[in-house]
């Protein structure tokens, strides 16, 4: 089941779009099914769960932390995390930088933008991102690398609204790229799209989709 579902998602992705297989709440056996057909990038949204899975599973898995991250938990994932998707404050970025330094690493990060019309979703505005990227604090960080942006569309059946929100995020991506990362070839990730909306996200310029239930089945919380 998982193998077929993974393959069918992969078959839909154009070249240049990376799949993060979102394995949150799913057991190690499920992850290994996907691993056995070649998937290496997995996404988790809880620090404790990701640490446990990292310890138990093959070490060539690249773990992406995709959910909201509390500063006091950064230290647990800093030794191994491959990418942190939801950086939404300078304070969090500073802590990531500090813990990455402690581990002699440079950690790839995405700035999370607020694009949904829902209060509950985290993320920066374009003004806040600009402020962060022009701050002295940011300039002095040497153990993080901002490689792109991430966002989540509103949970709605209104396809046009979802498309508009992804379109907005792509515009922010181009703006941030031009203003702050023009000559930085590492800045190229636009993480948008989940099981319900990744096709739209790809049409709007996504380079990284985070797909869970379409591969692993519905989650039981
Ligand atoms: C759970 C989650 C996903 C995957 O959701 P699906 O609808 O199961 O594909 C993607 N991104 C984030 C941030 C998530 O928390």
> 41-92: per-residue pLDDT in tens?
999 999 999 999 999 999 999 999 999 999 999 999 999 999 999 999 999 9
26 lines ligand 1 (CB under 6 A): no
Q: 147 in helix, strand or coil?
A: strand
Number of C-beta neighbours around residue 11 at 10 A: 7
Dihedral angle, C-alpha 40, 187, 161, 113, nearest 10 °: 100
State which ligand 1 atom lies nearest to the alpha carbon of 213.
Answer: 8
Contact 151, 112 (CB under 8 A): yes
61 lines ligand 1 (CB under 6 A): no
Query: What is the distance in A from the centroid of ligand 1 to the CA of 59?
Result: 23
Residue 62 pLDDT: 99
> 120-164: per-residue pLDDT in tens?
668 999 999 999 999 999 999 999 999 999 999 999 999 999 999
Query: What is the distance in A from the centroid of ligand 1 to the CA of 41?
Result: 14
Query: What is the distance in A from the centroid of ligand 1 to the CA of 143?
Result: 27
pTM for this one?
0.97
208 lines ligand 1 (CB under 6 A): no
The DSSP symbol for 151 reads E
Residue 122 pLDDT: 83
> 81-125: per-residue pLDDT in tens?
999 999 999 999 999 999 999 999 999 999 999 999 877 668 999
Distance CA 41, CA 60 (A): 9
The two tokens of residue 152 are: 């989540």
- 72-98 burial code (b ≥16 CB/10 A, e <16): ebbeebbebbbbbbbbbebebbbbbbb
Query: What is the distance in A from the centroid of ligand 1 to the CA of 14?
Result: 20
């Amino acid at each position: 089941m998982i193998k077929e579902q993974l393959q069918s998602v992969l078959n839909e992705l154009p070249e240049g779009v990376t799949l993060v297989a979102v394995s949150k709440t799913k057991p190690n056996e499920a992850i290994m099914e996907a691993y056995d057909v070649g998937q290496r990038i997995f996404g988790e949204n809880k620090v404790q769960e990701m640490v446990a899975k990292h310890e138990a599973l093959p070490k060539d898995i690249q773990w992406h932390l995709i959910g909201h991250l509390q500063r006091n938990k950064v230290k647990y994932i800093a030794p191994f995390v491959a990418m942190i998707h939801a950086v939404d404050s300078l304070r969090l970025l500073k802590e990531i930088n500090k813990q990455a330094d402690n581990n002699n690493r440079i950690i790839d990060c995405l700035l999370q933008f607020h694009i949904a019309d829902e209060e509950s979703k985290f993320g920066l505005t374009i003004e806040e991102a600009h402020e962060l990227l022009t701050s002295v604090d940011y300039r002095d960080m040497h153990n993080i690398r901002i490689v792109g942006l991430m966002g989540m569309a509103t949970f709605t059946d209104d396809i046009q609204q979802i498309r508009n929100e992804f379109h907005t995020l792509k515009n922010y991506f181009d703006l941030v790229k031009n203003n702050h990362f023009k000559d930085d070839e590492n800045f190229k990730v636009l993480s948008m799209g989940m099981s319900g909306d990744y096709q739209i996200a790809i049409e709007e310029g996504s380079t990284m989709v985070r797909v869970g239930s379409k591969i692993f089945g519905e989650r039981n919380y």
